[in-house]
Every structure is written in C-alpha cells, then in structure tokens.
Structure 1
C-alpha cells in the first residue's frame, strides 16, 4: 500500500512538473510574441515621420501597420491574456491601416498633386497624431484595461418620444450638470451653399465644391439634439467615472506667430492652451473620444445617444432658415449669436498663416471672449440650439466626402473612402466665411484633434 502511495506521489509530482514546464513554455512564447509586437509598434512609430511627401511617406506606414496588425492578431489568437486591451488597439490600428491604404492609392495616381486638405503641414500633423497614439499603445501594451462600465443612473421623470412637442427641453438624468436635449421636429431643407453666397463671402475657389451642389434633404422624424455642445465638466465626469483615457496632444494655432495649426504633444482636453471653465465646450478631443462619450451616455440611460449625421447637423443648425447664418445675412450680427474670432479674440491672439498674412476676423464685433465661451452664452437658433456656429466646431458621424453631390436625401450617414473626419460649424477662432451654416471641411486623419474641435450629441426618440 505504501509503495502504491509513493508511486502515486511520484506520478503527481511528474504531472505537476510537466504542467509547470508547459505553463512556463507558454509564458515564454507569449512574452516572445509580445516583444515582437512591441518591436513592430516601434517600427510603425519610426515610419510615421515625414519623408518629403505623402507619396514617399505612406508606403512604409502601410507595410508597418499591416505587420503590426498581423503580430497583434497572432497574440490575440494564441495568448489572449497577454495584451488585455488588444481589441481596442486593433480598432485604432485598423483605422490607420485604412488611411495608409488611401494615401498609397491616391498618391500613386497619375497627376496627383497635394490639394487644400493634404498640404504639407496637415499631413505632417496627421503623422504626429498617429505617432503619439502608437506610442501610447506601445506604452500600455501589457497593461490591463482601465475602462469601467457605465453605471445606470436614476432616470428623470420625463417621458419623451416622437409625439413630444418640438422645442421641449429635457434631460434623461437628474444630475446637476445633466446633458440637456431639445426635441427638433422633422422637416426639409436645402443643403449646401449657393454660388452667390460663396462669392459674397469670398469662399476660396478650391473649397467651393465642398459645399456644392445644393441638395434637398429631409429629416423624416423628430430627433433630440443637444441644446449645447458637451462641456468640459460633463466630459470630466465621463473620464472620472469610467477611467477612459482621452487622446493626448492636439493641433493648435500659435498666438502672435506666423504659423499654421501645429501639433503640441503636451496639451490635452484639460489644458488646450488657454483657460477654460467647466461650462466651456470640451475641445482637444478626437471623434473616437466623442463616440466613447456617446456610448457612455447610452449605457447609463438606456437610450441611444450618438453623433449627428452631417445631414441632421445642418438641418438642426439652420433652424428652419436658408440664409448664410441662422440669424440672417449679416455677419456683423454674430456678436449676439456666436463666439467668433472677433475683435477681442483678434487682439489677444493675432493668428496668421505663413505666406498669407493675418487670419481674417469679424470686424467691429466684440463678444467679450478671447477663446471659448461658456456654452449658451449667446442667443439660440429657432430650434432652441446654442453655439451651432462659433465656440467649438463639431464632429459628425459621417466620414469625409469632398462634395455635396452624394448628400443623402434622408440625412443618413455617408461613408467616404477612408475614416477621415468631417467637422461642421465655426469656432472661436474662425473667420467670417467659415461661420456660415453651409461651411464644411474635413481633416485627413481620424485622430485629428485641435483646440477648436468639440461635439454635441443627438438622441433617438
């Protein structure tokens, strides 16, 4: 009997030894694969450096990001615990892969020449954005996820649906800084600008097709639209409750210098380069950050919050008008309705563009703000929405398409060739022509963030 127990003990010991050897071997393999992934990320970051032109730069990026995704996929399949945030990183890098594919394809076309959106400074800034994100991924590769699920909140006593009276203001939560929404009725409008409007306000010829041709668009059912842009305080609450990590660094104008938007890695949404209060619109965040906030609001309320489509945004911003500005024809009236690049902001910053002189400002208007203003500081449009032009530009759900030719007649989302962002509305630093409701622009990087970009949400009814 004793001999049997000895034999059994030896067998268990051998089995445990074999198991330990297997575990150690697996851990060693996982470590080796993660190190290979770290090396790929290093090579990717090295490739995100300007090589004299987009055509010379992006082939190396395309190869490097594909290799990184391949290494990440291998780790996910064979050692899923080795990179706890693999799914998040994969989503980010997949966007970069699509962008790199776009650049390689477009720059290889016969007759390609840089345009108004892919200037040297814009492409260089996009590379710096992605280099910063790649460094963050590499830094956090082995770290556990910090994102906590949203906590369901006590609902408000509001009952809001498609039958609710247009203009009704409501909140889905009872918090002090609750997101206020406004019920906007269904309706139709003409998207885009007339040729006369573009001529009157001096829209550069190279940009005019962005707003043309005009299209009839119908928003077929009521929606709830954010009464204001999302504020610094509301975004802070989201970060605090969830542990979400917003993007680091942003493009900014440099005051009193002859420059373009430059990427400054030390800035973030808490420090966009100028003072803000919790009631100012949050800026310096990415479209991805804005969508994460919308997902948080959806989870905690049980309702569907999202970015507006471009068609919905313009309909809501116009507030039933077809004039260049929602308040009428005269930009000089902006001081009542929008925080713009007026005499006050001009005196404090005197922004200028290399080779083009000073950035045009709204003359003879004093709105009292040098930078962003607390949301709702000016008069709303006819739908009861504040700051739809001025203060912060706003991300929409669509990805960039450079004309209105394919504007969807039902205001549904449009998808361009790559996940490049679309911004609507003017900003605190915007010149007169860019305060028009029809003004639209894209940035050829899905990681773009500046100290003039923010967002507002819609909520399905």
Structure 2
C-alpha cells in the first residue's frame, strides 16, 4: 500500500512512524524533534565514513549521541592514520587508505530524508501514476556546449506532464498536471569531478573531500546545495550564459522523458538501467560509476536515476498541495531544506522511480548528493 521510506532528517521536524490503521509497510511523518534525532542516528550508526558523524554533529552539536559521534570520528581517523603509517614503512607498494572509508551499502544511511537512505526490506509496489494530460517530448533535443569547461546540455522542448504520484508517499501527492511553456537546457550528465575541479582551479569552488581517488568522470558528490550555487555562479561568469539548478518540475519532466510509468523505462525494474546497488552491473560500493555508464532516457539524458542524488532549486514542501503548475521553482523565504531527486548508487531500485523525492538541509554535504545544471534557451 505504502512505499516504505525514510524522510530527510536535517533540521526538520518530520519523523517516520506507522500511523494506526495503516499497513506496517507504510510510514508517515509525525512531529517530534527527539525522534528525528534518533532516526538520524539510526541511519548512520553503522557507517565507517567520518563525514556521516560530522553531519550529525553539525545538526545536533549537543545531541544525545554527540559524545559517541565524536568518538567514532576519532576512531575512524586514528585507524586511517595508523594504516597510512604502516603502509609508508613497508617495502611493498603501499595500498591506498582513504581518510574515511566509504560506507558499505548495507550500513550506509538512506537519503530518504536523512543522510543516505537505508533501503527498505519490504515495500509495496506502487501503481503507475496517472497519464499526462498533454504530450511530452520523447526524443532527444540537440546537444549544446557553451564553453570548453562547460557541461554538455540537452535541449528539452516545452510540454505538459503529470507530476507526482497519488499512490504511496504522501510527499508525492497530489499528482498534478504541470505545463512547461518554454524550452530549457539540462545537463546531459550530472556535473563530474573533473568539471567541479575546473571551478576549484579557478578559485570559485571549494575542493571536495573523499573523492581524490575516484574516476574524474564520475559525478561530483559530497556537495551541498550551497556548493552547487557556487558552481553555477562561476559557470555563468565563465560561459556568459545564465546557468542555474533545474526546478523540481523541470527535473521530473526531463527524467520521465515523455513517459508516465514508474521508471522511465517502464513499470518494472530492469537490470542495467540505473546506477543503484540492486540495479545490475556495472556497480561498485565505494562510489558512483562514471557518468554515462548506463543507458540514456528517451531525451538523451543519462543517470536521471541512480548515480548521485541531484539538488534542484526548490524549497522542500511536504506535499504538492498548492504547488505551481507552470514549472517554476517553488521557493519561500528563509528556506533551509531543499529538494533532492533521483536516488544514488547506495540505494535500492525503489528509489529510482521518476516521482521519488527527498530533502536535505542546503548547507549540509553528504556523500551521495550531487547535481546537474540547467539554463534557459533564450
């Protein structure tokens, strides 16, 4: 009946609890800051990534688990330091020891509104969303590249589609028709580590941690919403074009690629379509694969499901009630929690649905969060 999810637990007042009268396979939010903190901790308590505990301490500096979080950080760093020292004294070629080992797929928190989603063990299969009221583009637009360092873009034609899903997650309701009146361009891939590093070299972006040994063509991750804003500001200056993050409506419109099914490829999971831990090969536990390793959707956009969660411009709202129907960003003053879409390599296939949405505090960096860019076609 309900798809089981964790909601993002960063400076929010939502927790997951089973409401009386609903199936135990479904979870709904309740207000309890204490339970928010407990659920946050439960989602990271087995992690071997120091950054997870740092994220907890940033949100709950005086929390009930703060002493344990500090101890875990010290232990992980001491272990990494000791391993590095031992490696440097051996005559054999030293093996690389990361500063903080990445979380295992079973112990990583699940970004269902808390750091990285803990994959559910039981989840009811949702019915497909309502069919769109008007045609959406089903073929790829032309490719655009505004400068040597700029990400490749795909033109997305205007059109209408049904956004959201009236089954399962309350945050995806109500399904509603959105009409995007003007063409826009969207990144063919998420922004890569190499592209991010071009911004770092220009002195406009901060160097990302825990990605030094990753493929430079892998998506940039461990990126906050604020970091992404720095990047698009630099890209705008470098290219002379007005870059930005996509709106949530633009993102889902493009992710669906003219489809109205659960996934862009249909209503059933299909191996090899997305970079997630049970989506088929290629897959690796320690980081996302290089962009473009999996099939593109009908618009020629890669990795709209899996790889990294992608920041969009909108402020988080707990449902689509009163959401704009013209595709613009749904913002509000003093917003702290922003929407992320698409799922990551650490999640299961149930997070690859075109309608899946979560949130994160905009200043928090988390290992599975990245982004792709957009701009107007004017």
TM range (shorter): 0.5 to 0.7
1:389 and 2:305 aligned: yes
SS for the counterpart of 1:242 is coil
SS for the counterpart of 2:340 is strand
Correspondence 1:193-272 to 2 at 5 A? 193-195=165-167, 198=168, 208-245=169-206, 269-272=208-211
CA distance in 2 between counterparts of 1:180 and 1:112 reads 43
Partner of 2:40: 121
Q: Measure how far apart 1:242 and its partner are.
A: 1.9
Q: Measure how far apart 1:113 and its partner are.
A: 2.3
Counterpart pick for 1:172 among 137, 146, 152: 146
Q: Measure how far apart 1:126 and its partner are.
A: 5.1
Q: Is the 8 A contact 2:55 2:365 kept in 1?
A: no
Gap change, CA 1:440 and 1:240, over 3 Å in 2: same
Counterpart pick for 1:282 among 220, 225, 230: 220
1:22-46 CA distances to partner (integer Å, 9 max, x unpaired)?
A: xxxxxxxxxxxxxxxxxxxxxxxxx
* TM-score between both structures, scaled by the size of structure 1: 0.53
Gap change, CA 1:329 and 1:171, over 3 Å in 2: same
1:251-280 CA distances to partner (integer Å, 9 max, x unpaired)?
A: xxxxxxxxxxxxxxxxxx2414x9411100
CA distance in 1 between counterparts of 2:362 and 2:177 reads 28
1:429 and 2:352 aligned: no
Q: Is the 8 A contact 1:117 1:442 kept in 2?
A: no
Partner of 1:410: 326
Q: Is the 8 A contact 1:215 1:405 kept in 2?
A: no
RMSD across aligned positions (CA): 2.7
CA distance in 2 between counterparts of 1:419 and 1:367 reads 35
CA distance in 1 between counterparts of 2:243 and 2:282 reads 32
1:289-341 CA distances to partner (integer Å, 9 max, x unpaired)?
A: 1011001111111111000011111001110111010111111x141x21111
Gap change, CA 1:437 and 1:226, over 3 Å in 2: same
Partner of 1:438: 355
Q: Measure how far apart 1:400 and its partner are.
A: 0.9
Q: Measure how far apart 1:379 and its partner are.
A: 0.9
CA distance in 2 between counterparts of 1:366 and 1:121 reads 30
Partner of 1:322: 260
Q: Is the 8 A contact 1:232 1:282 kept in 2?
A: yes
Counterpart pick for 2:274 among 330, 338, 351: 338
Unaligned runs of 5+ in 1: 1-95, 104-110, 133-164, 199-207, 247-268, 343-361
Q: Is the 8 A contact 2:162 2:260 kept in 1?
A: yes
Q: Is the 8 A contact 1:339 1:369 kept in 2?
A: no
Partner of 2:16: none
SS for the counterpart of 2:202 is helix
Q: Is the 8 A contact 1:129 1:447 kept in 2?
A: no
1:186 and 2:105 aligned: no
Unaligned runs of 5+ in 2: 1-9, 14-29, 44-52, 62-138
Q: Measure how far apart 1:172 and its partner are.
A: 0.4
Gap change, CA 1:289 and 1:411, over 3 Å in 2: same
Query: How many matched pairs?
Result: 263
Structure with more of its chain in helix, by fraction: 1
CA distance in 1 between counterparts of 2:37 and 2:305 reads 25
CA distance in 2 between counterparts of 1:118 and 1:190 reads 35
SS for the counterpart of 1:390 is coil
Q: Measure how far apart 1:406 and its partner are.
A: 2.6
Correspondence 1:36-47 to 2 at 5 A? none
Q: Is the 8 A contact 2:248 2:313 kept in 1?
A: yes
Counterpart pick for 2:281 among 356, 366, 385: 366
Q: Is the 8 A contact 2:178 2:326 kept in 1?
A: yes
Gap change, CA 1:458 and 1:121, over 3 Å in 2: same
CA distance in 2 between counterparts of 1:188 and 1:243 reads 37
